Structure 1
Amino acid sequence: MSLLLGDEFGELFRTFKHTAFRLEVRDRYDSAYENSSLQKFVAGEDDDLPWMQDWLVMIREATSKGLRFSRVRVVSLPLTDYSRFGIWCAQFTNGAGEEIRYLTRDVAGQEGLPNHDYWLFDSRKLIRMHFDDADRFLGGELIEDPSEIVQHNYWRDVAWHHAVRRDDFAT
């Protein structure tokens, strides 16, 4: 299995034509650039999220051209510190044009959603995300099987239907 990383993975976000959807199902992601901000968040300290600025610029540019970013985050209750941090960060990505919604893990399980993260570009390019046991991103696997792509489109629609807007979930 070959995994997309770095520029090759980033190219996916520069070449899609209509929609980019992400399903996130993990309670934690270990990312060196986020860890400092997460620690500040938990301590109640201010942070200007320097690691997020390029992402926000890309979302603003893409959505100004009519492209759509959306995401559903599956979360456990009670929320982990990482999930609370994600909800706080989502106000900025939502403000840039990405729509993020939340779904509790029990509802995701009842609806038969998968237990893996993925990106779906233009409803036809499926990238399954791989992580190690320490929650670090290893890369994205391009899935080309049409039946798997259709199944992941179905899961996207189910997740979106049952998920709650970020601002509503945050309250």
Structure 2
Amino acid sequence: MPEIIPFAEAAPRLFEAFEHTAFRLEIRRGYASDRAGARYRAFLTGVMPAYEPDVPWNVSVRAAVAAGRRYERVRIVDNPLTNGQRFLLASGLGNVEAGEDIRNLRRADADRLGLPGFDFWLFDSRTLARFHFDDDDRTLGVEVITDPAEVLAACQARDASWHYAFPTASFAVGIASGA
């Protein structure tokens, strides 16, 4: 049985320690943490999420990017997008403004590429934080993995997904235009 620790416990160590790249693969159709927030509820009524430059995540990303580190993400999306995916696309524009490079990949393409069936963060191509969720999309925690074979598989998933994914801004324009 893998050791699963709360993400809030693992995150400070992982995000402070990485030197070059932090990559996230997001495969879920939605996240309980988003659905619990006021921004999500407002979004469902038509209010677009505004960029929040002073939230700790965006402050941290801007500082890391200014120091030469990269934050990258690929979000797997359905056709049509779920409400959770639509929210992440809209709110992700703020993350991009902070310095993250976020891209979107259709689920059919992810399936064709054989991407893993779990979310993860990959730090410097050597540390993998594999997420575990319950059936209601609540984060149970992460496994922190340094096994070379598992890290290599995550690196291959990163490279394959990145190659075929579309930058968030252009993907959002395509969705808005019905493409």
Instruction: Return the TM-score normalized by structure 1.
Output: 0.93
**Which residue pairs with 1:2 in the alignment?**
3
Q: Residue 31 of structure 1: SS of its match in structure 2?
A: helix
Q: Distance in 2 between matches of 1:124 and 1:144?
A: 6
Work out whether residues 9 and 140 of structure 1, in 8 Å CA contact, stay in contact via their aligned partners in 2: no
Q: Residue 72 of structure 1: SS of its match in structure 2?
A: strand
Q: Distance in 1 between matches of 2:81 and 2:35?
A: 21
**Which residue pairs with 1:140 in the alignment?**
142
CA-atom RMSD in angstroms:
1.9
**Runs of 4+ with deviation above 6 angstroms:** none
Q: Residue 28 of structure 2: SS of its match in structure 1?
A: coil
Deviations 1:111-137 (A, max 9, x none): 111111011000000111111111001
Tell me which amino acid in the other structure corresponds to 1:147.
A
Q: Distance in 2 between matches of 1:116 and 1:28?
A: 13
Following superposition, the deviation at residue 47 of structure 1 comes to: 5.1
Deviations 1:117-171 (A, max 9, x none): 0110000001111111110011110122211111110110000000001011101
Following superposition, the deviation at residue 54 of structure 1 comes to: 0.9
- Segments of structure 1 that go 5 or more residues without pairing to the other structure are none
**Which residue pairs with 2:95 in the alignment?**
93
- Segments of structure 2 that go 5 or more residues without pairing to the other structure are 174-179
Change (3 A) 1:114 1:44: same
Which of the residues 34, 56, 60 maps onto 1:58?
A: 60
Percent identity of the aligned residues?
41
Work out whether residues 51 and 93 of structure 2, in 8 Å CA contact, stay in contact via their aligned partners in 1: no
Q: How many residues align?
A: 171
**Which residue pairs with 1:15 in the alignment?**
17
